[in-house]
Structure 1
Amino acid sequence: MAGLFPPDTNKNSGRKTGGKRGRSSGKVADFRYKRPSQSTPPSNGAAPKSVAQVIPQGDRSTRRQAYAALDLGTNNCRLLIARPEGEHFTVIDAFSRVVRLGEGLAASGRLSDEAMDRALGALQVCAEKLRRRNVFLARSVATEACRRAANGAAFIDRVRAETGIALDIISAQEEARLAVLGCHILLEQGHGPAVIFDIGGGSTELVLIEPGERVPRIIDWASVPWGVVSLTDTVGRGEGSSEADRLERYNRMRMLVSDSFAPFAERVVGASRAEDIRLLGTSGTVTTLASLHLELPQYDRRAVDGLIVPAASMRDISVRLSTMAPEDRRQLPCIGNDRADLVVAGCAILESILDIWPAEKLGVADRGIREGILRSLMAGSLTPIRSQ
């Protein structure tokens, strides 16, 4: 896929329902978004007609049409709208908002009313952008929070009724595949084995890929239910009053994550000892830590996306953040209030990954699932990455 889709350019930059697991079709849905009808809902109890209308294959027009990818995660709601430009694609609109959909899920097993309302507010904005941009093909996915929540499928139905957006609750395996497809072109050059990881809000995916092919072949993968929100909520948000308290809390996080990673670590231990191993991460955690490494006064995607950072530097920053008082973390550029209470969990997950895969350098990607969806749509492929 690297040969088909080089890095994107940003014009504006300076499951079938089945219980609590939800929909898991694993397929790319082709949709045209239209403004929903304002007429009275049908009296037979049927759901309002979705903004997403299936397009017959014969009705597709040129590659100048707009494509869209929407990712509703445990912590964020993100949208990209892009047009193909030769072998590239150009982003023509984007949206991102912290919604914390999975807040409180670890304790209750359900999405809270407040969290669902926050997510719906963001999705209303996305729906309007999709209509305004006259999107031709799109895919909208939901991940770990909706997979785990007892009311996840009901929330998906509510989203469709209120916004017209038809969310697909994807499996952890498909989430890993899309993340790899979206960012693997940023892997450091080399011939050794590589691991790509995605630290999300509710889960973390790790993927071992085979080197030397234009389209990555997945050799092994794992998904664990620890992301920055789920891990923070499980350990507790209270950080204590002393550095010793914060360190003890951080070590508990590290233990939980390492125990979950153990089966994958055992399977890849041989590959991890090879020469020239490579590592690439996509998440708010790695981009935030990379910004601190660069000492940026504010976040700059152009400086961070594709950056190669010494792994030791990322460890040092993680350790420093883990014992820092919350009020001090909030003052750091590129962290602020949104990430101050969650970044410590991300650091614990990142350090556990570095224990498993001790690469000397870490590649940083500010791209992932949404870009993977766009590449799949533009290529017209349902199976963009081959697995063993």
Structure 2
Amino acid sequence: MPPITAPSSAPAGAASGAWRGALQGTPLFAALDLGTNNCRLLVASPSGPAGFRVLDSFSRIIRLGEGLSSTGALSDAAMDRAEAALEACGQKLARRPVQAVHAVATEACRRATNGRRFIQRAERAFGAPIRVIPAREEAELAMESCAPLFRPQDRRALLFDIGGGSTEIAWIRTDESERPRLIGTISVPLGVVTLVERDGAACFAGEGFDRVVEEVATRFEAFDSVHCIRQEMRAGGVRLMGTSGTVTTLAGIALDLPRYSRAAIDGHDLEMGCADRALEALRSMGREGLAAHPCIGPERVDFVLPGCAIYAAIRKVWPAAGLTVCDRGLREGLLLRAMRERRRPRRGG
């Protein structure tokens, strides 16, 4: 079972009770993911030998990378939106007895010419340091968050994370005696925000969608040629795993959920035929249908099909029999890493 023992949407009463427990001595940890499209926060306490209980959360679409692909810099409007979200996160932390805060920023801040200057502003708004992490660490954190979903029969896992400004692919050895090990990773500077800005309407047309699939697939082929992943898949024991809004949306459509449910989706094994049918259903909905769907909504309309095109490229290059859907990512990886370090015996003393 996944290590997260309470969903981030836990009722206020449950959360307040958990805070009372925290005040009695249970340490609290916070993790912030400042992404190209979203700002997300989790606050949690350790639960069991290798899990945690989510006590509070925050998620807001901020479109920090808006305009970045054309100007090379973060815009004033985007930075203002991010600052407002970070202030809201900081206010949450100020009310809680949080022992440690781990905050990271990803592709938008890596690429922007004014990224470093913005981070100083972001840290003032948030009230804690924010690290701009390299693509490899981003893949490592995604691997760490999804590791509890690996199965004993797995030899390898191919994990993808479709982000706002980039897509990370992690090739993982899972048959280690202790923790899984990252064999190799690739970060392609194409995500849902970059594709929308380049030509937002392209993925709503059949030919445009197919062009994006071909373009992205070409980027992945070079990675496959180095690691022979398709060959490993044919030999068996390789799990394809996805962590992003794209794959959780695919799962929501495939399961015909009346509304999004993390409990129903996280860790769900989606047979590839079901995923293919869900992809076709999404492509046929049009903007109005996507906006009206309870698993999508108007804020995400523009991003769904670009994400689906990236997913279709992954599906084309690596034709697995199924897909494990992961509703978890950098925040969960940061929390698990921090809690593991806390449990590690100290040398000396």
- Could you tell me which runs of 5 or more consecutive residues in structure 2 were left unpaired when the two chains were aligned: 12-22, 345-349
Three-state SS of the structure 1 residue aligned to 2:299 is helix
**Equivalent residue for 1:346?**
307
Distance 2:236 2:202 in 1: 40
**Equivalent residue for 2:208?**
249
> Which amino acid in 2 is paired with 1:365?
C
1:267 and 2:226 matched? yes
The within-5 A match list for 1:88-237 is: 88-213=51-176, 214-234=178-198, 236-237=199-200
1:66 and 2:4 matched? no
Three-state SS of the structure 1 residue aligned to 2:98 is coil
1:9 and 2:2 matched? no
Distance 1:280 1:72 in 2: 22
Which of 291, 294, 299 matches 1:330? Answer: 291
1:354 Cα deviation after fit: 1.5
Normalized against structure 1, the TM-score is what?
0.79
Three-state SS of the structure 1 residue aligned to 2:193 is helix
Distance 1:334 1:259 in 2: 30
> Which amino acid in 1 is paired with 2:120?
D
Distance 1:169 1:274 in 2: 38
Describe the superposition over 1:30-88 as per-residue Cα deviations: whole angstroms up to 9, x where unpaired.
Answer: xxxxxxxxxxxxxxxxxxxxxxxxxxxxxxx9972110100011111110101112322
Describe the superposition over 1:310-347 as per-residue Cα deviations: whole angstroms up to 9, x where unpaired.
Answer: 12222232234235421222122211112111111111
Aligned residues: 327
Superposition RMSD on alpha carbons, in Å?
2.2
CA contact (8 A) 1:188 1:363 kept: no
1:135 Cα deviation after fit: 1.0
CA contact (8 A) 1:182 1:367 kept: yes
- Could you tell me which runs of 5 or more consecutive residues in structure 1 were left unpaired when the two chains were aligned: 15-60, 384-388
CA contact (8 A) 1:74 1:100 kept: yes
**Equivalent residue for 2:257?**
296
Normalized against structure 2, the TM-score is what?
0.88
Three-state SS of the structure 2 residue aligned to 1:221 is strand
1:210 Cα deviation after fit: 1.3
Residues 323, 248 of structure 1: CA spacing in aligned structure 2 closer, same or farther, 3 A cutoff? farther
1:223 Cα deviation after fit: 0.9
Distance 1:260 1:233 in 2: 19
Distance 1:259 1:136 in 2: 45
Distance 2:28 2:154 in 1: 36
> Which amino acid in 1 is paired with 2:10?
S
More helix by share: 2
Identity percentage over the alignment? 46
**Equivalent residue for 2:237?**
276
Residues 189, 318 of structure 1: CA spacing in aligned structure 2 closer, same or farther, 3 A cutoff? farther
Three-state SS of the structure 2 residue aligned to 1:212 is coil
CA contact (8 A) 1:77 1:97 kept: yes
